Amino acid sequence: TRYINETWAEGRLDVDAELQYMQDPFERFFGFGPGTPESNESNFVSHLWFWKGRVAYEILPKFDVQLEEKWLRMNLNPRAITSLNNTATFFAGNNEVVSSNQWTNRLSLIWDTRDSRQFPKQGHYVETFGLFVPPSFDSNPFYSGYGFIGKEIFTLGERFTTVLRLTADQLFGDTVPFYMQTSLGGENDLRSFVERRFTGRGRVLFDVEERILVKSFTIMKAKFDLSLDPFFAVGQVFNQWGQVALDNLQPVGGLGFRALVPPAVVGRVDFAVGTEGINVYTTLNYPF
């Protein structure tokens, strides 16, 4: 269930509220840090309840301050894939591999000059944020963090749109559940790896994607675009900045096949190659 309103205060106030329950039998966890081996792969079934509320206000043209409040309950249940390690058993005794309640508070400053949120052709997006998570009623300890997200979009002629992204974030605290820590892998980050392939207190990630329009056509007065989008990404997770090193960086390259229905729908099939082989994701929306 979700409610979005971007029309308050003559469009300067953006309100978003969401309530969800999700169950995923294919969750993975490999351990902490940039060098976790594939042999550590474990599986659990997640039961996740969450509520999220977000309010953003444009204090200056193209410059927003945003507050996001989020509550979640994550239950870790025994594995569904019996050929893999059971997460709770394999990491038994680790106090960061447990079920918990979390209440996150995130304050962001955002500068956004993109000409479109769904189909940008040019502009910048810069977000800096700080967050803190107070102790919950199940005695989860306090932790905090910060982050930066930067995007640059520009066109080279009518058919070529280049998108760059740089992400860096880090968490601090004695105990942070692994599903609240930063991670890489999945349909949007280092796409040759499975979801949450790498987990750590921080991460750095650089992406570049070239979105190449191949064909436009109209069916029943609706416009469709097809594009071929090569991409490259390199990044890693870390528990301390001293772990950031060339030997720990994970490069990923690939090609995306995209079907676009402006102004809001993007369907994509992404083929990606990395150090652990090839992966394919079929999903909606651009990765970034």
What's the pLDDT tens digit per position in 128-147?
Answer: 999 999 987 666 789 999 99
- Asked, for residue 262, whether it belongs to a domain, the answer is no
- Asked, for residue 11, whether it belongs to a domain, the answer is yes
Structural domain that includes position 139: 2-211+236-250
Helix, strand, coil percentages (3-state) for the chain, rounded to 5, are 5, 65, 30
What's the pLDDT tens digit per position in 77-93?
Answer: 999 999 999 999 999 99
For residue 139, what pLDDT is reported?
A: 63
- Asked, for residue 220, whether it belongs to a domain, the answer is no
- Asked, for residue 271, whether it belongs to a domain, the answer is no
Percent of the chain's residues with pLDDT above 70: 99
Report strand pairing: 42-60 vs 85-86: parallel
- Asked, for residue 36, whether it belongs to a domain, the answer is yes
For residue 157, what pLDDT is reported?
A: 87
State the total domains in the chain: 1
Average pLDDT over residues 209-215: 97
- Give me the CATH number covering residue 153: 2.40.160.50
pTM of the model: 0.91
DSSP letter (8 states) at residue 140: P
- Asked, for residue 199, whether it belongs to a domain, the answer is yes
- Asked, for residue 221, whether it belongs to a domain, the answer is no
Q: Band of the pLDDT at 222, cuts 50, 70, 90?
A: confident
Q: How far apart are CA 270 and CA 256, in angstroms?
A: 4
Q: Hey, how many other C-beta atoms are within 10 angstroms of the C-beta on 182?
A: 23
What's the pLDDT tens digit per position in 171-204?
Answer: 999 999 999 999 999 999 999 999 999 999 999 9
